């Protein structure tokens, strides 16, 4: 029976991927075939989940771990795809399958004759694949792979109306917030490697005696990993101070807003806390911090939701407030209540978003023909100055968006703009010889004083971070930004080799994906430069996907390969490099994590600026600007 359950687990992950692959074979005009195939794949998935739940219940709900596939193994390191089923995974799996089933059926009619009909169904199935991979992940590596797929599908769904400015800009902003959360996941994975001396599985975390013993000996490491996970959970679930991204994500189609930001993806912060609950449940300070964050988010989001004029924004902030309450429930140890709360909130927000267009027209009619009397509330007994102050703050969304820009993105851009010396010529004249010197030091087998070797890894990693900062803030030269992101991978690899002698196979695994993706992307940029002279910089959105859709898709694949998306060996290579960073080298780990994250934002920004947005050429149809 357990072997059948394991097969059903694999089927739950692979069915969305198979549906996506078959959907790609249809022509864009074949709406009926595309919708029926996607609907059939999700219906089969729902049937398999129901069957799986019945078989699992017959076995008295055991926790099941499936070590499915070892992708790479070397000395003291193993990268494996691992699946894990427990009540948390089953609750999210069933809810996700049923909600996707309903939304896909609705989308068939909602998006009828839409130009991007096929693209929407492909992206939605890509999201569903990432959702199932994350929910059933049995270790951090598998979870991070699904986490990355969710981030990409989020960007593509928000930017679905890619001929418009606002959806594309908001898609880049949301992707940037997601990448900030990825810093927490990467650092948590790095610290976990050293804490457990292996690629830890979530099954091991259920050994309460082992966790308690490790907590007594490594309390600071436990707290650090927990805080990293909290950052990732807060960013993914739009908790303070990241709450402003969720309403911006509503620029996509209403159906994608319902499934992605109303019901499923936005709850993954709660899922991450539930999945790692056995790890941090004995950390009282951390539990207080989680509860305080949830309480503050719930209060702030509630005040914002009450004054918004857009119904989708109201629903977004109402959902954020409910997720804040779920954070409190998890912090108090009410994990079963949090799962029930998740299911109820997911179905409610899906329903509200799908009926929101009809509700708007109904409310307008009600305001015209009826004049309901105003009810007394708590505001009537408070001082008017205090009420008005809170009203303005809520109307301005407590300046959360401005806070993120001022604290995070604006300082990074200002720092990057001060690095104007990082031109193509200077990189070749000054930094190439410096890199060669580092290779010579490696060839001499560390023929340098120990005091020098101690700071060399951080120095080379810091140079890599400077390159990425320059690429992140570059406004004029896409090829320079692309080149800097490509080169930073080589600098990071060299920085880590100063710690330990890495096998050539390990370095080759990481750099092979970098070289292939980097060369392909640079060649595509050269081709676009020759074809679109004068329409090739990063100061605005050019919308070249209108005339070059195949080039845009190829460039997106190259960008994903270079940022470490799980389609090339670079994804595994990143994890290998982090496993060779010593436990006391926090700055090296931080520089590497920031480099990977900011490099990914820079690449997606290049893609969005060049290929998305209103088309620059006036002889094509363009959308009218907002009134």
Q: Nearest Cα to 518, choosing from 471, 465, 580, 476?
A: 471
Could you give the CA distance from residue 215 to residue 59 in angstroms, rounded to a whole number? Answer: 32
Q: What percent of the chain has pLDDT over 90?
A: 37
Query: CA of 327: how far to CAs of 90, 151, 267, 304, in Å?
Result: 19, 22, 10, 19
Residue 124, token pair as written in the block:
């939605």
pLDDT at res. 76: 66
Tell me if residue 416 falls in helix, strand or coil: helix
**For the ranges 234-248, 382-396, 594-608, which has the lowest average pLDDT?**
382-396
pLDDT band at 198 (very low <50, low <70, confident <90, very high): confident
Could you give the CA distance from residue 46 to residue 43 in angstroms, rounded to a whole number? Answer: 5
Query: CA of 501: how far to CAs of 197, 444, 451, 515, in Å?
Result: 18, 12, 18, 21
pLDDT band at 626 (very low <50, low <70, confident <90, very high): very low
- Residue-range domain boundaries for the chain: 2-363, 418-611
- Distant-in-sequence, close-in-space partners of 522: CB < 8 Å, separation ≥ 6: 479, 482, 483, 486
Could you give the CA distance from residue 111 to residue 31 in angstroms, rounded to a whole number? Answer: 9
Q: 256 with 316: CB under 8 angstroms?
A: no
Q: What is the pLDDT of residues 481-498, one digit of tens each?
A: 999 999 999 889 888 887
Report the Cα–Cα distance between both ends of the chain, in Å, rounded: 62
Phi, psi (rounded to 5 degrees) for 73? -140, 135
Q: What percent of the chain has pLDDT over 70?
A: 91
Average pLDDT, the chain: 86
Could you give the CA distance from residue 316 to residue 311 in angstroms, rounded to a whole number? Answer: 9
Residue 475, token pair as written in the block:
């406004």
Could you give the CA distance from residue 492 to residue 486 in angstroms, rounded to a whole number? Answer: 11
pLDDT at res. 408: 87
Mean pLDDT of 28-55: 90
**For the ranges 163-167, 249-253, 601-605, which has the lowest average pLDDT?**
249-253
Q: 81 with 133: CB under 8 angstroms?
A: no
pLDDT at res. 95: 93
Q: What is the pLDDT of residues 204-225, one digit of tens each?
A: 888 788 888 888 888 888 899 9
pLDDT at res. 627: 41
pLDDT at 34 over 70: yes
Mean pLDDT of 554-574: 89
DSSP 201: B
Residue 31, token pair as written in the block:
């709406």
pLDDT at res. 618: 67
pLDDT at 321 over 70: yes
Taking the mean position of all CA atoms in its chain, how far away is CA 20? 20
pLDDT band at 395 (very low <50, low <70, confident <90, very high): confident
Give the chain's radius of gyration (CA, Å): 25
Mean pLDDT of 307-333: 90
Token look-up 């805080």 returns 227
Mean pLDDT of 291-317: 89
pLDDT at res. 456: 83
Q: Nearest Cα to 287, choosing from 275, 306, 273?
A: 273
> Which of 267 and 364 is assigned the larger pLDDT?
267
Residue 338 is inside which H or E element, if any?
helix 335-369
Taking the mean position of all CA atoms in its chain, how far away is CA 266? 11
pLDDT at 255 over 90: no
pLDDT at 560 over 90: yes
pLDDT at res. 5: 79
Could you give the CA distance from residue 422 to residue 14 in angstroms, rounded to a whole number? Answer: 44
Mean pLDDT of 397-404: 87
Residue 544, token pair as written in the block:
């070249």
Could you give the CA distance from residue 156 to residue 167 in angstroms, rounded to a whole number? Answer: 10
**For the ranges 127-141, 475-489, 532-546, 593-607, which has the lowest average pLDDT?**
532-546
pLDDT band at 344 (very low <50, low <70, confident <90, very high): very high
pLDDT at res. 81: 85
pLDDT at 623 over 60: no
Could you give the CA distance from residue 450 to residue 499 in angstroms, rounded to a whole number? Answer: 12
Q: What is the pLDDT of residues 82-110, one digit of tens each?
A: 899 999 999 999 999 999 999 988 888 88
Q: 259 with 124: CB under 8 angstroms?
A: yes
Q: In degrees, to the nearest 5, what angle opens at C-alpha 91 toward C-alphas 87 and 97?
A: 140
């Amino acid at each position: 029976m357990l072997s059948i359950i394991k097969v059903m687990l694999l089927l739950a992950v692979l069915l969305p991927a198979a549906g996506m692959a078959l959907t790609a074979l249809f022509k864009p005009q074949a709406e009926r075939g595309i919708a029926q195939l996607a609907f059939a794949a999700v219906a089969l998935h729902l049937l398999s989940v129901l069957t799986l739940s019945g078989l699992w219940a017959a076995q008295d709900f055991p926790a099941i771990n499936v070590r499915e596939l070892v992708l790479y193994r070397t000395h003291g390191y193993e990268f494996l795809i691992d699946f894990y089923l427990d009540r948390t995974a089953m609750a999210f799996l069933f809810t996700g399958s049923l909600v996707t089933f309903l939304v896909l059926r609705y989308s068939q009619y909602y998006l009828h004759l839409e130009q991007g009909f096929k693209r929407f169904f492909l992206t939605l199935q890509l999201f569903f694949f990432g959702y199932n991979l994350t929910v059933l992940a049995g270790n951090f590596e598998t979870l991070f792979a699904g986490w990355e797929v969710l981030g990409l599908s989020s960007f593509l769904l928000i930017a679905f109306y890619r001929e418009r400015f606002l959806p594309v800009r908001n898609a880049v902003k949301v992707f940037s917030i997601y990448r900030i959360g990825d810093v927490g996941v990467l650092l948590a994975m790095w610290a976990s490697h050293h804490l457990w001396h292996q690629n830890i599985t979530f099954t091991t975390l259920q050994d309460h005696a082992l966790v308690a013993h490790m907590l007594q000996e490594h309390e600071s490491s436990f707290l650090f990993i927990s805080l990293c996970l909290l950052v990732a959970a807060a960013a993914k679930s739009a908790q303070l101070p990241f709450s402003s991204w969720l309403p911006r994500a509503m620029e996509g189609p209403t159906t994608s807003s319902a499934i992605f930001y109303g019901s499923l993806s936005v709850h993954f912060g709660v899922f991450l806390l539930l999945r790692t609950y056995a790890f941090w449940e004995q950390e009282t300070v951390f539990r207080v911090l989680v509860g305080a964050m949830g309480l503050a988010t719930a209060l702030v989001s509630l005040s914002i939701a009450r004054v918004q004029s857009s119904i989708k924004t109201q629903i977004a902030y109402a959902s954020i407030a409910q997720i804040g309450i779920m954070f409190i429930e998890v912090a108090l140890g009410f994990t079963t209540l949090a799962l029930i709360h998740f299911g109820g909130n997911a179905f409610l927000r899906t329903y509200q978003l799908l009926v929101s267009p009809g509700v708007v027209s109904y409310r307008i009619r009600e305001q015209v023909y009826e004049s309901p009397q105003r009810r007394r509330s708590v505001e009537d007994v408070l001082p008017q100055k205090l009420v008005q102050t809170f009203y303005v703050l809520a109307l301005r969304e407590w300046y959360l968006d401005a806070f993120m820009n001022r604290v995070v993105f604006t300082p990074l851009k200002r720092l990057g703009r001060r690095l104007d010396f990082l031109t193509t010529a200077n990189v070749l004249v000054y930094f190439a010889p410096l890199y060669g010197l580092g290779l010579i030091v490696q060839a001499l087998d560390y023929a340098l004083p120990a005091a020098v070797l101690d700071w060399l890894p951080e120095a080379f990693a810091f140079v890599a971070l400077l390159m990425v900062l320059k690429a992140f803030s570059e406004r004029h030269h896409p090829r320079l930004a692309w080149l800097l992101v490509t080169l930073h991978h080589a600098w990071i690899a060299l920085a880590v080799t100063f710690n330990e002698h890495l096998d050539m196979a390990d370095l080759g695994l990481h750099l092979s994906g970098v070289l292939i993706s980097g060369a392909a992307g640079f060649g595509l940029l050269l081709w676009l430069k020759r074809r679109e002279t004068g329409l090739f910089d990063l100061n605005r959105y050019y919308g070249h996907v209108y005339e070059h859709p195949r080039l845009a898709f190829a460039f997106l694949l190259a960008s994903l390969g270079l940022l470490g998306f799980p389609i090339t060996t670079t994804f595994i290579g990143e994890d290998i490099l982090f496993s060779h960073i010593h436990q006391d080298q926090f700055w090296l780990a931080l520089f590497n994590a920031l480099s990977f994250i900011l490099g990914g934002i820079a690449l997606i920004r290049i893609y969005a600026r060049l290929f998305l947005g209103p088309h620059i050429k006036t002889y094509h149809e363009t959308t009218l600007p907002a009134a």
